[in-house]
């Protein structure tokens, strides 16, 4: 056990919120007795529970990110284990660069699916060049935010904007959860019921692992009733226990880079939205490390592009896990990162995860994605955003519908979806409408 830092300010766990604790990448103080979280408290990024509990929660983060992280390379044709490897490495880099202040897992970004699918004819090397270029641009944006200071975030993304971005990111994913749920409603229902019961009624550690337990219960139920896909079970039997991930390098083609660069808009929104969400949930201001978060994700995406993996982003699924468990300890994310790297060398485990049926994923994501949407509402409530103000009301309304409806438009050869249009729409519309409103009153 490490000595408790006497100068660490408290968030919801006691003391004043809105400050930032001087946490480190390593070395966590024990939260209370390490076994319980009192009502109204959270385990802060610089704290941890006992190591068995921390490992259990870290494994839950692995389960939460696995389906989506492995789905992206499956759709785009990228190597699954390679993507998993750079996901784990990227998470470790993120924790180091943000100095342990922002709990986050960097998983595969869905924003890359459209440009990677559109550029398949150019070959995997050119696609990786697009990923690397997007990472480099995000890195530059992060450096600019660091140099300009957190006031840039406050000016460009006030609470009304950040709440909308967080909400639309979660709610944009709702159709995916519903589609998975409807594909196997009985299995999804059992999974959802198990998650709810364990989370609400489970004692101690069991209650904190509701999602992991629910997924396990759903998988067992699916296996009993024959709900596992036979081809995936066959692939599991044939998969090797150990194997080295496939590494490959990029080439750079301007046409592919032009297709890929717009995803940076989504990555910025997701990273800043993640920082704002964690800040709201922990009661600690993290705007001063928003630039570090962008730099870290930019570097992780760049490395993935140069090594053969898909681009990364802070993961919405893991925000849901933190909201459900009230554990924001970065120690759990180190466990998740290390686990991902180890499992990247086991094709057998990757095949096992792919046996998890769509119904189980639907039951789990119905909860997780909803939690993310509600977090956006919480940001509005905590900031006391005035929705009788027509500027706030109209720009948020338009952005949310664009995100929830997944408004998808093509500009030239570039296709952008609901998260991009909703995020860009409110980022542009809010300051313009606010300026016009001030001009009208003057």
Segment 286-342, tens digit of pLDDT? 778 889 999 999 999 999 999 999 898 887 678 777 877 788 888 889 999 999 999
Q: Which residues pair with 170 in a beta bridge?
A: none
Strand 47-48 relative to strand 29-30, pairing: parallel
Q: Which of 35-44, 185-194, 293-302 has the lowest mean pLDDT?
A: 35-44
Distance CA 110, CA 135 (A): 14
- pLDDT of amino acid 88: 93
Mean pLDDT of 195-202: 84
- pLDDT of amino acid 50: 85
Phi, psi of 105 (to 5 degrees): -110, 135
Q: What percent of the chain is modeled with pLDDT above 90?
A: 15
Residue 34 three-state SS: coil
Distance CA 376, CA 277 (A): 7
* Count of C-beta atoms within a 10 Å radius of residue 4: 10
> Cα 143 from chain centroid?
21
* Count of C-beta atoms within a 10 Å radius of residue 388: 6
Residues listed for the chain: 442
- pLDDT of amino acid 137: 92
Q: Where are the alpha helices (DSSP H) in 202-344?
A: 204-208, 210-225, 230-238, 254-260, 263-282, 290-307, 316-325, 330-343
pLDDT class of 348 with cuts at 50, 70, 90:
confident
Longest dimension (CA), the chain: 72
C-beta separation of 134 from 311 below 8 A: yes
Residues 6+ positions from 121 with CB-CB distance below 8 Å: none
Asked if the model's pLDDT at residue 21 lies above 50, the reply is no
pLDDT class of 75 with cuts at 50, 70, 90:
low
Nearest alpha-carbon partner for 287 in 187, 155, 92? 155
Distance CA 23, CA 119 (A): 42
Asked if the model's pLDDT at residue 6 lies above 70, the reply is no
Asked if the model's pLDDT at residue 412 lies above 80, the reply is no
Asked if the model's pLDDT at residue 18 lies above 60, the reply is no
C-beta separation of 97 from 242 below 8 A: no
pLDDT class of 264 with cuts at 50, 70, 90:
confident
pLDDT, mean over the chain: 80
Residue 119 DSSP class: T
Asked if the model's pLDDT at residue 259 lies above 60, the reply is yes
- The encoded tokens of residue 146 equal 């660091």
- The encoded tokens of residue 302 equal 């760049």
Mean pLDDT of 404-412: 77
Distance CA 81, CA 347 (A): 7
- pLDDT of amino acid 159: 81
Higher pLDDT among residues 152 and 1, named by residue: 152
Mean pLDDT of 250-268: 79
- Digit-coded pLDDT (tens) for 417-428: 677 778 778 888
Asked if the model's pLDDT at residue 10 lies above 50, the reply is no
Q: Where are the alpha helices (DSSP H) in 226-262?
A: 230-238, 254-260
- pLDDT of amino acid 24: 55
- pLDDT of amino acid 8: 32
Distance CA 212, CA 168 (A): 25
- Digit-coded pLDDT (tens) for 266-291: 788 778 878 877 887 777 777 788 89
C-beta separation of 126 from 252 below 8 A: yes
Distance CA 43, CA 36 (A): 10
Distance CA 292, CA 270 (A): 14
């Amino acid at each position: 056990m490490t000595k408790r830092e006497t100068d660490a300010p408290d968030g919801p766990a006691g003391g004043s919120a809105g400050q930032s604790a001087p946490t480190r990448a390593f070395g966590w103080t024990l939260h209370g007795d390490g076994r319980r979280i009192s009502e109204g408290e959270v385990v802060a990024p610089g704290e941890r529970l006992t190591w068995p509990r921390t490992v259990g929660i870290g494994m839950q983060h692995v389960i939460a990110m696995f389906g989506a992280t492995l789905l992206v390379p499956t759709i785009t044709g990228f190597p699954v284990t390679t993507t998993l490897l750079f996901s784990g490495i990227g998470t470790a880099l993120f924790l180091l660069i943000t100095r342990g202040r922002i709990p986050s897992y960097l998983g595969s970004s869905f924003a890359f699916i459209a440009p990677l699918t559109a550029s398949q004819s150019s070959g995997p090397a050119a696609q990786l060049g697009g990923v690397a270029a997007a990472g480099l641009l995000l890195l530059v944006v992060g450096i600019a935010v660091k140099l300009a200071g957190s006031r840039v975030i406050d000016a460009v993304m006030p609470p009304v904007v950040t709440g909308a971005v967080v909400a639309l990111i979660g709610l944009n994913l709702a159709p995916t959860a519903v589609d998975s749920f409807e594909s196997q409603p009985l299995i999804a229902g059992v999974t959802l019921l198990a998650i709810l019961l364990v989370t609400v009624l489970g004692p101690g550690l069991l209650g904190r692992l509701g999602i992991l337990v629910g997924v396990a219960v759903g998988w067992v139920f699916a296996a009993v009733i024959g709900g596992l896909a036979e081809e995936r079970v066959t692939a599991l039997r044939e998969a090797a226990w150990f194997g080295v991930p496939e590494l490959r390098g990029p080439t750079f083609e301007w046409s592919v880079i032009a297709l890929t660069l717009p995803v940076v808009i989504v990555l910025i929104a997701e990273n800043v939205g993640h920082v704002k969400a964690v800040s709201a949930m922990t009661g600690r201001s993290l705007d001063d490390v928003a630039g570090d978060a962008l730099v870290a994700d930019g570097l992780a995406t760049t490395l993935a592009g140069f090594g053969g993996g898909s681009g990364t982003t802070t993961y919405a699924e893991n925000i849901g896990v933190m909201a459900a468990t009230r554990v924001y300890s970065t120690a759990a994310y180190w466990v998740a990162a290390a686990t991902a790297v180890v499992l990247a060398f086991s094709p057998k485990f990757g095949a096992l995860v792919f046996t998890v049926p769509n119904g189980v994923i639907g039951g789990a994501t119905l909860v997780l994605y909803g939690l993310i949407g509600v977090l956006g509402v919480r940001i509005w409530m905590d900031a006391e955003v005035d929705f009788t103000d027509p500027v706030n009301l109209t720009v948020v309304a338009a952005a949310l519908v664009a995100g929830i409806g997944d408004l998808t438009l093509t500009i030239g050869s570039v296709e952008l979806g609901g998260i991009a249009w909703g995020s860009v729409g409110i980022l542009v519309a809010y300051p313009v409408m606010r300026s016009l409103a001030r001009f009208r009153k003057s």
